[in-house]
Amino acid sequence: MASVTAPVPSALHPRAAGFTKPARPIERRLGLLFATTGVALILLMGVLGLIMRLTQATVVDLSPAWFYRLVTLHGMGMITGALIAAMGALWYVLHESVPLRAGHMLASYALTVAGAAGVLVATLIGGFGAAWTFLPPLAFFPAGQWPVWSESVFFVGMMLVGSGFFVYCIDVLRQTTSTYGGLTGALGWRFLRGREPDAPPASVIAATVVAFDGLLAMSVGMTIGLGLLGRTYDTGVGFDLLVSKNLVYFFGHTIANLLIYLAAGAVYVLLPRYAGRPYEVTKVFVAGWGVALVLIVTVYSHHLYMDFVQPQWAQVVSEISSYASALPVAVITIYSLTMLVWGSRYRWTLASSLLYVGLAGWAIGGTGAVIDSIIPFNFRLHNTVWVVAHFHTYLMLTVVVWLLAFIAHLLERDAGVTSSRGARTWTIALLLIGGFGLTGTWFVEGILGIPRRYAIQPPGTAGYSLAGSIFGLMFALGVLVCVAQLASLARTAWGRRHYAFVDHMDSWTGSHYEARVSRAGGKGPAVEAAAPWAPADVPLAGRVQLCFAAAVCVVALASFFPQIVTASEASVRYHHLDHAGHFFLGLMVGLLIGSLPAVSRRLGDRSSLGLATVIAAPAAMMLVMVPRFYEPLERHPFEHALYHLAMAAFGLATGLGASRLGRVGGRLASFLSIGMVLLFAAAMKGG
Amino acid sequence: MSLHYGDPQIALGVVFAVLVLLLATAFVVIAVQAGSEVGVERVHDVGYWLRKRWLVLLIVVGVLVVGISLFDLPYASGGAAGRTVVKVTGGQFFWSLQPGSVPAGTRVRFDVTAVDVNHGFGLYDPHGHLIGSVQAMPGYHNKLDLTLSEAGVYRIRCFEYCGLNHSTMQSSFRVTPR
């Protein structure tokens, strides 16, 4: 009897073998862990969304108090779920080019999941319902609906999610910049200027941009979150509401926007595997992502168009940025990916169909967003459900769809097959009709002038909500059909991983049949270790930089001069600025000491400790700047002096921690921490 | 109150619908073409040629739309001379307008603020068309200039989530015949 191992079938395009590396267990496991956790959270939040839509349709009788709890949970939960899953997807594809640290990834996971649990407790048990945008000071005007503890738990949860993403971004940035020759190398700018013959892979450029902007967004989110947390235990803390609103939307808009860019970074790698053509990184691509690096963080202020007190130049800059930010998406990402598909004998599988649908969702949702970003149009659409329509279009029909595609891709690769054509067709049809139908009802209601976040819809509009609910159910059904296919693929993949299929020929009859035999326990391709730590990879390298830092320290000493400390008592803001000066002094001293070659060698690679310090030390510094904490100390000169020294000590710890994060990561973490304390000074009026 | 479609919003909806239709057609055509085999060089030649024109088209449209929009900004400018100032204050969950009515044709300056949390002052004309909205924020005064030429009852709804009774936070403003 003869037997031959049957060739492993592939769900990918035949040409993809030429440019697709085999998946390593660590990538697959972490990718699946993140994606399944995130998608599970998304599904749960989707159910809540459906309940809310049915409430607006008067089919479900939910009280306004519960409606707004669900609004809050749905928003924060969706953002968190999509964030976790998209982080996993990008990590999966990035790990091919850049050796990332699984430990940091797991720390990021633990922090994010803990944060999500906090938000669940604050909303479902505590009744917190200030919406995920929590515009100050709404959290502290609960109208008898939630206790103070729920506010604290919500903000701690929100900041834990932020810390998880912060850890992820620092690790990604550190590894991409050290692998590709610094920030300009990882962004492809050296290639753009002709200094490098080859550009980094598309996923590396996208990940570097996302990590850079993600760090900015998270730092701002942490700043306002800490201020709000301080307010929960000290009512003496006050806010400049315009500055706070800017901070909230800088954080909120940017993080929601980054979800799609995170997922897009993965799509640059996944979609070519079905088109059989590698994604070509051109100078136009690099330039486009360079533009996106800036525009992703400048467009947020279109949320403040109807705050007429916002400087008018900022409104105009935001309008131009908002339109311009659509150009790289329309001309580079979506266009070039469709070019890749064109005439490629595209292999239509579950994953590849979902990837393609996501491109359409982004194009259509983005068009709705661009219309809303023109100021005179926004005057008529601001905070109507048109806004809900456009962001649901690209969250449901791009981000969620791409995250499902990512899981499908992992399973299809392992299983070597895809699901049946009929099941795929049903999935896509239900997702498209249900998704665009649901958002379509919101677009129509937006034209009608119906405001968003209404527990009770204006009279005569329940029909739209009912139609939306039916479409929403169709979309949910599409997701369920998709999940059923994923489960089936997972079973096949599990079987293929543990058993080999062997082609047997019966020597008596000559007939062939396939038999399943246990597979020998192979470990799969080896995992590359993360780049070895180099003592010289510090924020301040060389004598000139160290001397410059020493000079800056001398100048920053001025923040301790009695005349300056006394002058800073003129207002809370000036006093907080003086605290920022103390912190800055400590930070520079810490960076300087940590960057000294002898000290760096002795400290060694303590990047985990460094990460924890750059998150915890500035946070602690800002939390002790509330009146309840420091006012008693002001009566005792010695203790008051110690308090000011503590500000510098927090800075010192931050600087030392940052010195463990490499040149780019350390500098950026330092810059962000001083930015956080300055923003804190600008936003807080009391304390 | 009954809600009706406002004219500018209908125009926006039609433009959006046309764009969606064009995009959907493009994606269907590309999906159908995806099954064929076209050489990469050919795809690059045609694709990059078309992409340049696509970029130029989007830039031209952007310059025109953004440029024209700058002449129609809703932000009040200059002093309130010649205008009737209506002080609008939002609070959980009420609106206060002083005065509560003006004669038709009056050039009004709405001076909008709030006493507790952020609210949104959304104004509907007597036919239920949304005229527009402006934020009401404690500590700040947003000024909106309008000429209300049609007599009738103008409905006000809250346009920024402000807590439990956000969806029922309503009021009205009367424009009397001259």
**B98 and B64 together in one domain:** no
CA separation for the pair A407, A32 (Å, rounded): 7
User: What ipTM was predicted for this assembly?
Assistant: 0.95
Residues in chain B closer than 8 A to A312 (CB atoms): 73, 75
Which site among A329, A380, A442, A444 would you substitute to test the B interface, given the most B Cβ atoms closer than 10 Å to its Cβ?
A380
- List the domains of chain A with CATH numbers: 14-501 (1.20.210.10), 543-683 (no CATH)
Which residue from A65, A68, A368 is facing B16, i.e. has the nearest CB? A368
Residues in chain B closer than 8 A to A450 (CB atoms): 3
HEC string for A352-382: HHHHHHHHHHHHHHHHHHHHHCCHHHHHHHC
Which residue from B5, B76, B159 is facing A308, i.e. has the nearest CB? B76
Q: Can you give the pLDDT at residue A505?
A: 67
**B126 and B172 together in one domain:** yes
Q: Can you give the pLDDT at residue B135?
A: 97
Which site among B20, B71, B165 would you substitute to test the A interface, given the most A Cβ atoms closer than 10 Å to its Cβ?
B20
Average pLDDT, 10 consecutive residues per value, chain A (687 residues): 53 89 83 96 97 96 96 97 96 87 92 97 96 93 94 96 95 91 94 92 96 96 93 88 95 95 96 94 95 94 95 95 95 95 96 97 96 96 96 96 97 91 96 97 95 94 96 97 96 79 65 63 52 78 90 89 82 86 94 92 88 93 85 83 91 95 91 91 74
The answer as to whether B79 is a domain residue is no
**B90 and B44 together in one domain:** no
CA separation for the pair B143, A309 (Å, rounded): 8
CA separation for the pair A372, B12 (Å, rounded): 9
**B97 and B60 together in one domain:** no
| Nearest residue of chain A to residue B169 (CA atoms) | A454
CA separation for the pair A627, A542 (Å, rounded): 42
**B124 and B40 together in one domain:** no
- Where are the extended beta strands (E) located within A482-639? 499-505, 512-518
CA atoms within 13 A on the CB side of A251: 27
**B41 and B62 together in one domain:** yes
CA separation for the pair B106, B112 (Å, rounded): 18
**B149 and B170 together in one domain:** yes
Cβ–Cβ under 8 Å, residues A119 and A71: no
| Nearest residue of chain B to residue A127 (CA atoms) | B164
**Contact at CB, A64 and B116, closer than 8 angstroms:** no
Before B138, cis peptide (omega within 30)? Answer: no
Which of B72, B98, B115 represents a domain boundary (last residue)? B72
**B67 and B94 together in one domain:** no
The answer as to whether B2 is a domain residue is no
Residues in chain A closer than 8 A to B47 (CB atoms): 335-336, 339, 342
Residues in chain A closer than 8 A to B157 (CB atoms): 451, 458
Residues in chain A closer than 8 A to B15 (CB atoms): 371
**B169 and B110 together in one domain:** yes
Measuring CA to CA, how many Å separate A237 from each of A250, A472, A628?
21, 42, 9
**B150 and B100 together in one domain:** yes
**Contact at CB, B36 and A356, closer than 8 angstroms:** no
**Does the CA dihedral A193-A208-A333-A248 come out positive or negative?**
negative
The answer as to whether B149 is a domain residue is yes
Residue A169 neighbours by CB under 8 Å, 6+ apart: A210, A211, A212, A214, A215, A218
The answer as to whether B160 is a domain residue is yes
**B121 and B64 together in one domain:** no
Which residue from A135, A336, A363 is facing B118, i.e. has the nearest CB? A135
Q: Can you give the pLDDT at residue A238?
A: 87
Structure letter (DSSP) for residue A1: -
Domain of B58 in residue numbering reads as 7-72
**B105 and B154 together in one domain:** yes
Query: Measured at the alpha carbon of residue B46, what is the angle toward residues B42 and B52, in degrees to the nearest 5?
Result: 145
Which of B72, B94, B125 represents a domain boundary (last residue)? B72
Which of B19, B45, B72 represents a domain boundary (last residue)? B72
Q: Can you give the pLDDT at residue A101?
A: 85
Whole-structure pTM value: 0.92
pLDDT (tens digit per residue) in A583-633: 999 999 999 999 999 999 998 888 889 999 999 999 999 988 888 888 888
Q: Can you give the pLDDT at residue A528?
A: 53
CATH of the domain at B144: 2.60.40.420
Which residue from A324, A343, A382 is facing B37, i.e. has the nearest CB? A343
Residue A564 neighbours by CB under 8 Å, 6+ apart: A558, A578, A581
The answer as to whether B1 is a domain residue is no
User: Based on the structure, what is the number of domains in chain B?
Assistant: 2
Residues in chain B closer than 8 A to A456 (CB atoms): 167-168
pLDDT (tens digit per residue) in A14-41: 999 888 888 788 888 899 999 999 999 9
How many residues belong to chain A?
687
Interhelix angle A401-415/A64-94, nearest 10 degrees? 40
Quote the minimal CA–CA distance from B112 to chain A in Å: 10
CA separation for the pair A480, A50 (Å, rounded): 14
